[in-house]
Amino acid sequence: MANMTKADWQAAAKALRIDGRAFINGRSVDALSGETRPTFNPGNGKQLAQVAYCGIEDAELAIASARAAFASGVWSAMAPSDRKMVMVRWAELIEQHREELALLECLDVGKPISNTLDIDVSAAVRTIRWSGEAIDKVYDEIPPTPANTLALVQRLPLGVVAAIVPWNFPLSTTAWKLAPALATGNSVVLKPASNTPLSALFIARLATEAGLPDGVLHVLPGPGGSLGKHLATHMDIDGLTFTGSTPVGQLLMQYSGQSNLKRTFLELGGKSPNIVFADANLEAAAAMAAVAVFYNGGQTCTAGTRLIVEEKIRDEFLDMVVSKARDWMPGDPLDPATAMGPMIDEGQFNTVAGYVDVGRKEGAELLFGGKRCLAETGGHYHEPTIFAGVHNQMRVAQEEIFGPVLSVLTFKDAAEAVSIANDSIYGLAGAVWSRNINTAHKVAAAVRVGTMGINNYFGGDMTVPFGGFKQSGNGRDKSMHAFNDYTELKTTWIEFE
Ligand code: NAP
C-alpha cells in the first residue's frame, strides 16, 4: 500500500463506497427529515456523495441520547483504565483503515494523498491513542489544608460537549476535540463542516466498533448557521469546543452568554509572522518559508503568511523563496507526487483571487503566481503567490486570506521585527530564524503567539499545547492541557470531628 501510484489511488477512489449517513446513538442513520446534501471533490468539482442534512430534530435526539449516556455513567463513570482500552482500540482500528480513510479525506478536502496518509490520519491515530493512554495517569489534588481537614480537588467531566469543526483539517481537528473530550468522560455531539463531513462519520463508526458505548458520541452533518447555532445556544449542552474562523468564534461566545454560559473554547484564525534574520541558515529558512505558507494550499490556521525579512538580505532571500515556490505548483491530489492541491471550493478560490486583486491595488509587488491553474480539471486550483513590498497596514498583511498567498515585509532591527509581528489582531503562531541564540530567544519571547518556532516552522507534537493568543482563540488542543477545556474543578472540603 505504501507504494501506491496515482493510478492505484484512482482505482481505489472508483471502488470506494461512501456512507454519508449521520451517526446518532451508535448507529448510522438518515436525517429524520430524510434530507441530504451533496459533498464535492475539490480536485475535480464533481459530486462525491450525498450526506445526511441534519436539523434541529436530529440535534434534539442526539443531545437527549448524549445526556442519558452521561447520566447513566456508562462512560463517564467508567474506570479511566477501561476508557483507555477503548480509546487505544479505536486508534488501532483507525490505523487499520489508514488507506481508506486517507483516500476519503483526500477526496473530500482536496488534500494531497501523501499528506492525508502521512499527516492527517497519523495525527488522528496519535491524538486518540495518546489521550487514551494519558487518562489513567492523571492524578487529582490534595491541597495543604489545616490538620483537622482534608480537601479534595478533582477534575470532573463537563457533561455533554458540542464540538464544531472546520473544513481545512477535518480529521485532525475532529481528533483534537474528540480525544480529550471523550478521554475525560464526556458525551459529545460533533458537527463537521458542511464541505467535509466524511472522515468524522467514518471514525465515529469505528469508535462503536472499538467499544465506545452507544449514545456517547454523535456526528451530525448540517448547516452551521442553524444546526451549529442550535448546539451553541442549547441549554443542555455544557461545553462547546470550536475550531474555525474568528467571526464565527465571536458569535459562539455571544451564544454562550445568551444561553447557559456553556464553557466555550475557541481555536480561531491567524496571520502568522515568520521572521528571518540575515544570520540564519537561509537555505533552510527559504524552504520552510514556502512550506509555511503553501502547505495545504495556505488553508492552514497557523500558515506563515507574513514573511518578515531583514532588509539587507531581502533580494537574495526572496530569490531563494521564489525558487522554492516553483515546487508548490498545484497538482492532482491523488498523485503521490503532488505537494499542493486545490482550494476547498469556488467560494474560497474567489476569496483568494479577490485578495490577489487587493494586494495589486494596494501597491504590493506581485513576484510570483497570482492566477488560476488546472482549470480544465474542474477543480479550484490557485498558483502559489508571493507579494513583496508589503506594508503591515495593507489588507494583505492584516487579514486572513486562507490561500497560498505570501506577503513579504522587511525590518531593520529586532525591535522592528517584533513590532511588525505583534501588530495584528491574531496571535496563533510564528517563527524566527537566526543562528544567534540571544536574538532568536529574545524575539521568540517577545512575539505574542501561542506557538513560536525557532529555526523551524510547524514544529510540535502531542506533548505540547496548541492554541492562540488574542483573537486567535482561548482554548488549547493537544497535551494534558487539553483536558482542562473538558473538565470542571470540584472541591470537596472535609472537617474531622
Ligand atoms: P467557519 O466558517 O468558522 O466554520 C467552522 C465551523 O463552524 C463549520 O462547521 C461551520 O459550519 C460552523 N459554523 C458556521 N457558522 C456557524 C454559526 N453561526 N454557529 C455555529 N456554527 C457555525 O470556518 P471554516 O471556513 O470552516 O474554517 C476556516 C477557519 O478556521 C480559518 O479562519 C482558520 O484559521 C480556522 N482554523 C483554526 C484552527 C486553529 O486551531 N486555531 C485550525 C484550523 C482552522 P458550515 O460548514 O456548515 O458553515
| Ligand 1 proximity of 186 Cβ (cutoff 6 Å) | no
The C-alpha atoms of residue 124 and residue 422 are separated, in whole angstroms, by 32
Report the atom number in ligand 1 closest to the C-alpha of 248. 3
Average pLDDT, the chain: 98
Q: Which residues contact 300 (CB under 8 A, 6 or more apart)?
A: 168, 169
What local confidence, expressed as pLDDT, does residue 3 receive?
Answer: 86
| Ligand 1 proximity of 112 Cβ (cutoff 6 Å) | no
What local confidence, expressed as pLDDT, does residue 1 receive?
Answer: 53
CATH code for the part of the protein at 6-268+473-491? 3.40.605.10
Q: Which CATH number fits domain 273-461: 3.40.30.10, 3.40.309.10, 1.10.3210.10, 3.40.47.10?
A: 3.40.309.10
pTM of the entire structure? 0.98
The C-alpha atoms of residue 55 and residue 74 are separated, in whole angstroms, by 27
Average pLDDT over residues 211-236: 98
Evaluate whether 6-268+473-491 and 273-461 have a shared fold. Answer: no
Q: Where are the domains of the chain?
A: 6-268+473-491, 273-461
* pLDDT tens per residue, range 3-37: 899 999 999 999 999 999 999 999 999 999 999 99
DSSP 122-185: HHHHHHHHHHHHHHTT---B-----TTEEEEEEEEE-SEEEEE--SSSHHHHHHHHHHHHHHTT
* pLDDT tens per residue, range 256-306: 999 999 999 999 999 999 999 999 999 999 999 999 999 999 999 999 999
Indicate the top mutation candidate among 167, 191, 199, 245 to test ligand 1's pocket, ranked by most ligand atoms within 8 A of CB. Answer: 245
Q: What percent of the chain has pLDDT over 90?
A: 99
Q: Pairing state of beta strands 47-52 and 36-40?
A: antiparallel
* pLDDT tens per residue, range 295-313: 999 999 999 999 999 999 9
What local confidence, expressed as pLDDT, does residue 43 receive?
Answer: 98
Q: Which residues are designated catalytic?
A: 267, 301
Name the DSSP class of 482.
G
- Nearest alpha carbon, ligand 1 atom 16: 224
- Within 10 A of 122 (CB to CB), how many other CB atoms are there? 16
